[in-house]
Amino acid sequence: MTAVPSARVGDMKAVYDSIASQRLPRGWQWEWVVQHDGRIRAVEELPLGDERVRGDACKHSGGAEPWNLALHRAVGELVRVLDADAVLTPGALAGDIEKLAGDNRLGWTACRATTSVPSGRVEREWVYDHWRTHDFSLPLDPATMCFRRDLAVSLGGWSGIPGSEGVMLAIAAGMVSAGFVRQEPGLVRSGDAPGCSDELDSVSVEAIRARAEALRRLIVPGYDR
Protein backbone atom coordinates (compact mmCIF):
# COMPACT_ATOMS: atom_id res chain seq x y z
CA MET A 1 0.00 0.00 0.00
CA THR A 2 1.12 3.55 -0.74
CA ALA A 3 0.43 6.89 0.90
CA VAL A 4 1.14 9.75 -1.47
CA PRO A 5 2.13 13.04 0.20
CA SER A 6 0.67 16.21 -1.21
CA ALA A 7 4.08 17.67 -1.98
CA ARG A 8 5.19 14.83 -4.24
CA VAL A 9 3.18 12.42 -6.35
CA GLY A 10 6.08 10.46 -7.78
CA ASP A 11 6.02 8.29 -10.88
CA MET A 12 2.91 6.22 -10.23
CA LYS A 13 3.32 4.22 -13.42
CA ALA A 14 6.81 3.12 -12.39
CA VAL A 15 5.51 2.08 -8.96
CA TYR A 16 2.65 0.17 -10.58
CA ASP A 17 4.96 -1.56 -13.06
CA SER A 18 7.21 -2.73 -10.23
CA ILE A 19 4.20 -4.28 -8.48
CA ALA A 20 2.64 -5.78 -11.59
CA SER A 21 5.91 -7.51 -12.50
CA GLN A 22 6.13 -9.33 -9.15
CA ARG A 23 5.81 -13.11 -9.22
CA LEU A 24 3.91 -14.36 -6.20
CA PRO A 25 3.74 -17.84 -4.68
CA ARG A 26 0.82 -20.00 -5.76
CA GLY A 27 -2.46 -18.99 -4.15
CA TRP A 28 -1.43 -15.40 -3.45
CA GLN A 29 -2.45 -12.22 -5.24
CA TRP A 30 -1.78 -8.56 -4.71
CA GLU A 31 -3.86 -5.40 -4.46
CA TRP A 32 -2.44 -1.90 -4.48
CA VAL A 33 -4.20 0.46 -2.08
CA VAL A 34 -3.20 4.06 -2.76
CA GLN A 35 -4.16 6.90 -0.44
CA HIS A 36 -3.46 10.39 -1.74
CA ASP A 37 -3.02 13.13 0.82
CA GLY A 38 -5.09 15.94 -0.66
CA ARG A 39 -4.13 15.25 -4.27
CA ILE A 40 -7.28 14.43 -6.22
CA ARG A 41 -5.32 14.82 -9.45
CA ALA A 42 -2.97 12.06 -8.41
CA VAL A 43 -5.85 9.56 -8.26
CA GLU A 44 -6.38 10.15 -11.95
CA GLU A 45 -2.76 9.17 -12.63
CA LEU A 46 -3.29 5.60 -11.47
CA PRO A 47 -3.45 2.87 -14.15
CA LEU A 48 -6.96 2.32 -15.48
CA GLY A 49 -8.59 -1.04 -16.05
CA ASP A 50 -6.82 -2.97 -13.26
CA GLU A 51 -9.29 -3.86 -10.53
CA ARG A 52 -6.40 -4.69 -8.21
CA VAL A 53 -5.59 -0.97 -7.96
CA ARG A 54 -7.77 1.05 -5.56
CA GLY A 55 -7.05 4.75 -5.18
CA ASP A 56 -8.64 7.34 -2.96
CA ALA A 57 -7.88 10.85 -1.74
CA CYS A 58 -8.37 12.43 1.66
CA LYS A 59 -8.27 15.96 3.01
CA HIS A 60 -4.67 17.11 3.27
CA SER A 61 -3.36 16.19 6.70
CA GLY A 62 0.14 14.79 6.25
CA GLY A 63 1.91 12.37 8.53
CA ALA A 64 0.13 9.23 9.63
CA GLU A 65 -3.42 9.79 8.44
CA PRO A 66 -3.06 8.66 4.79
CA TRP A 67 -1.16 5.54 5.90
CA ASN A 68 -3.83 4.68 8.45
CA LEU A 69 -6.62 5.23 5.94
CA ALA A 70 -4.81 2.94 3.49
CA LEU A 71 -4.43 0.33 6.23
CA HIS A 72 -8.15 0.56 6.98
CA ARG A 73 -9.02 0.08 3.28
CA ALA A 74 -6.67 -2.88 2.78
CA VAL A 75 -8.29 -6.31 2.88
CA GLY A 76 -5.31 -8.63 2.53
CA GLU A 77 -3.71 -10.78 5.19
CA LEU A 78 -0.39 -8.98 4.70
CA VAL A 79 0.29 -5.29 4.09
CA ARG A 80 3.52 -4.13 2.46
CA VAL A 81 4.66 -0.52 2.79
CA LEU A 82 5.71 1.14 -0.48
CA ASP A 83 6.51 4.84 -0.74
CA ALA A 84 5.36 6.79 -3.80
CA ASP A 85 8.96 7.65 -4.71
CA ALA A 86 10.22 4.05 -4.71
CA VAL A 87 9.79 0.86 -6.73
CA LEU A 88 9.93 -2.75 -5.62
CA THR A 89 12.87 -4.90 -6.54
CA PRO A 90 12.17 -8.22 -8.30
CA GLY A 91 11.03 -10.89 -5.86
CA ALA A 92 10.38 -8.45 -3.01
CA LEU A 93 6.76 -9.48 -2.38
CA ALA A 94 7.45 -13.19 -2.79
CA GLY A 95 10.23 -12.94 -0.22
CA ASP A 96 7.92 -11.30 2.32
CA ILE A 97 5.15 -13.83 1.71
CA GLU A 98 7.43 -16.84 1.96
CA LYS A 99 8.83 -15.74 5.31
CA LEU A 100 5.51 -14.85 6.91
CA ALA A 101 3.50 -17.71 5.43
CA GLY A 102 6.23 -20.16 6.38
CA ASP A 103 6.35 -19.22 10.07
CA ASN A 104 3.22 -18.02 11.86
CA ARG A 105 5.36 -16.87 14.79
CA LEU A 106 6.69 -14.01 12.67
CA GLY A 107 4.63 -10.83 12.55
CA TRP A 108 6.68 -8.71 10.17
CA THR A 109 9.57 -8.54 7.75
CA ALA A 110 11.85 -5.66 6.78
CA CYS A 111 15.08 -4.95 4.98
CA ARG A 112 18.08 -3.94 7.05
CA ALA A 113 19.06 -0.28 7.19
CA THR A 114 22.82 -0.86 6.89
CA THR A 115 25.07 -3.76 5.94
CA SER A 116 26.39 -3.84 9.52
CA VAL A 117 23.04 -5.17 10.74
CA PRO A 118 22.72 -8.96 10.64
CA SER A 119 19.95 -10.46 8.54
CA GLY A 120 17.66 -13.31 9.52
CA ARG A 121 15.10 -14.00 12.21
CA VAL A 122 15.06 -11.58 15.15
CA GLU A 123 13.23 -11.98 18.42
CA ARG A 124 10.90 -9.61 20.23
CA GLU A 125 12.46 -6.41 21.59
CA TRP A 126 15.53 -6.62 19.33
CA VAL A 127 14.44 -3.60 17.25
CA TYR A 128 13.83 -1.45 20.31
CA ASP A 129 16.99 -2.53 22.11
CA HIS A 130 19.07 -1.73 19.03
CA TRP A 131 17.36 1.64 18.60
CA ARG A 132 17.88 2.76 22.20
CA THR A 133 21.53 1.63 22.30
CA HIS A 134 22.54 3.04 18.89
CA ASP A 135 21.68 6.73 19.19
CA PHE A 136 18.01 6.13 18.33
CA SER A 137 18.83 4.68 14.92
CA LEU A 138 16.67 1.85 13.59
CA PRO A 139 18.41 -1.32 12.40
CA LEU A 140 15.85 -1.68 9.62
CA ASP A 141 14.20 0.53 7.02
CA PRO A 142 10.54 1.11 7.99
CA ALA A 143 9.78 1.92 4.34
CA THR A 144 10.39 -1.76 3.50
CA MET A 145 8.24 -3.35 6.18
CA CYS A 146 5.59 -5.97 5.55
CA PHE A 147 3.18 -6.65 8.41
CA ARG A 148 0.48 -9.10 9.16
CA ARG A 149 -2.47 -6.74 8.80
CA ASP A 150 -3.99 -7.80 12.11
CA LEU A 151 -0.75 -6.90 13.88
CA ALA A 152 -0.56 -3.42 12.36
CA VAL A 153 -4.24 -2.76 13.13
CA SER A 154 -3.96 -4.01 16.72
CA LEU A 155 -1.05 -1.61 17.32
CA GLY A 156 -3.07 1.35 16.08
CA GLY A 157 -1.23 1.72 12.79
CA TRP A 158 1.08 4.67 12.20
CA SER A 159 1.82 7.11 15.01
CA GLY A 160 0.30 10.57 14.95
CA ILE A 161 3.43 12.11 16.50
CA PRO A 162 5.13 14.06 13.68
CA GLY A 163 8.37 12.54 12.47
CA SER A 164 7.94 9.25 14.32
CA GLU A 165 5.19 7.60 12.28
CA GLY A 166 7.07 4.65 10.80
CA VAL A 167 9.67 4.41 13.56
CA MET A 168 7.10 3.98 16.33
CA LEU A 169 5.14 1.31 14.43
CA ALA A 170 8.32 -0.60 13.60
CA ILE A 171 9.42 -0.62 17.24
CA ALA A 172 5.94 -1.48 18.51
CA ALA A 173 5.67 -4.41 16.11
CA GLY A 174 9.09 -5.56 17.20
CA MET A 175 8.04 -5.44 20.84
CA VAL A 176 5.15 -7.86 20.45
CA SER A 177 6.31 -10.13 17.65
CA ALA A 178 9.43 -11.74 16.25
CA GLY A 179 10.34 -10.71 12.72
CA PHE A 180 12.67 -11.39 9.84
CA VAL A 181 15.27 -8.94 8.55
CA ARG A 182 16.04 -9.51 4.89
CA GLN A 183 19.46 -8.95 3.40
CA GLU A 184 18.12 -7.74 0.05
CA PRO A 185 17.22 -4.02 -0.31
CA GLY A 186 13.57 -4.65 -1.24
CA LEU A 187 13.12 -1.34 -3.04
CA VAL A 188 14.89 1.28 -5.12
CA ARG A 189 14.23 4.97 -4.53
CA SER A 190 14.12 7.59 -7.22
CA GLY A 191 17.28 9.64 -7.61
CA ASP A 192 15.95 12.71 -5.78
CA ALA A 193 14.02 10.88 -3.06
CA PRO A 194 15.18 11.13 0.54
CA GLY A 195 16.26 7.95 2.27
CA CYS A 196 15.24 6.63 5.64
CA SER A 197 15.80 9.19 8.38
CA ASP A 198 15.79 8.44 12.08
CA GLU A 199 16.29 12.03 13.27
CA LEU A 200 13.83 12.58 16.12
CA ASP A 201 13.32 15.34 18.63
CA SER A 202 13.32 14.65 22.35
CA VAL A 203 9.52 14.54 22.57
CA SER A 204 9.31 11.85 19.88
CA VAL A 205 12.11 9.84 21.50
CA GLU A 206 10.35 9.87 24.86
CA ALA A 207 7.01 8.96 23.27
CA ILE A 208 8.56 5.98 21.48
CA ARG A 209 10.37 4.89 24.61
CA ALA A 210 7.22 5.17 26.74
CA ARG A 211 5.17 3.08 24.34
CA ALA A 212 7.85 0.41 23.98
CA GLU A 213 8.30 0.10 27.74
CA ALA A 214 4.52 -0.06 28.23
CA LEU A 215 4.29 -2.89 25.72
CA ARG A 216 7.15 -4.67 27.45
CA ARG A 217 5.38 -4.45 30.81
CA LEU A 218 2.15 -5.76 29.30
CA ILE A 219 3.89 -8.72 27.69
CA VAL A 220 6.26 -9.53 30.56
CA PRO A 221 4.32 -9.23 33.85
CA GLY A 222 6.45 -7.89 36.65
CA TYR A 223 9.04 -6.37 34.30
CA ASP A 224 10.47 -3.09 35.49
CA ARG A 225 13.60 -1.35 34.27
**Domains (range + CATH), the chain:** 2-219 (3.90.550.10)
Q: pLDDT digit string (tens) for 21-58?
A: 999 999 999 999 998 887 655 566 777 789 999 888 77
Q: pLDDT tens-digit profile of 171-220?
A: 999 999 999 999 988 999 875 444 454 578 898 999 999 999 999 998 86
Cα distances (angstroms) measured from residue 169 to each of 38, 128, 178, 207 = 23, 11, 14, 12
Q: Report the alpha-carbon distance of residue 14 to residue 29 in Å, rounded.
A: 19
Mean pLDDT of 82-88: 91
pLDDT above 90 for 95: yes
Of residues 111, 77, 96, the one with CA closest to residue 189:
111
- Asked if residue 71 lies in contact with residue 166, where contact means CB atoms within 8 angstroms, the answer is no
Q: Is there a contact between 114 and 32 (Cβ–Cβ < 8 Å)?
A: no
> What is the pLDDT averaged over residues 116-140?
94
Q: How many residues are there in the chain?
A: 225
Cα torsion through 141, 145, 151, 155, rounded to 10: 40
Condensed to tens digits (0 to 9), the pLDDT of residues 133-169 reads: 999 999 999 999 999 999 999 999 999 888 788 999 9
At 129, is the secondary structure helix, strand, or coil?
helix
- Give the per-residue pLDDT at 224: 44
Model-level pTM? 0.89
